[in-house]
Amino acid sequence: SQTIHQWPATLVQPVGSPLSLECTVEGTSNPNLYWYRQAAGRGLQLLFYSVGIGQISSEVPQNLSASRPQDRQFILSSKKLLLSDSGFYLCAWSMGYQPQHFGDGTRLSIL
């Protein structure tokens, strides 16, 4: 069966520090991968998606970037975090138009 792992579960970072969140999927090949951010009162916002290795599409201009160095690995990064980057970050995968499956999320707090 397929599983998705996302870490860390919580993270507290100072403003201006770098960020790296990792997501891996097991039990499938060539999945579509997604990074979402969930902020209070704003719903779930798609940040990046990838349909293959090295293929990254950005949905909104922001202080973040994403990479897909391996088929089932998706990384969310920032060189310098802003206060506005605080939120709950979720990674998800799907096969085509099948349901998306989500990780348990990372709670990011910026101080």
- Which residues here bind another protein, judged by CB under 8 A? 6, 32, 41-44, 46, 49, 51, 57, 59, 88, 90, 92, 94, 96-105, 107
Closer to another protein by Cβ: residue 49 or 74: 49
Q: Residue 54: name the closest of 73, 81, 80, 36 by CA.
A: 73
Minimal distance in Å, beta carbon 101 to another protein? Answer: 7
Edge to edge, the sheet with strand 73-78 lists: 3-7, 19-26, 73-78, 65-70
Minimal distance in Å, beta carbon 59 to another protein? Answer: 8
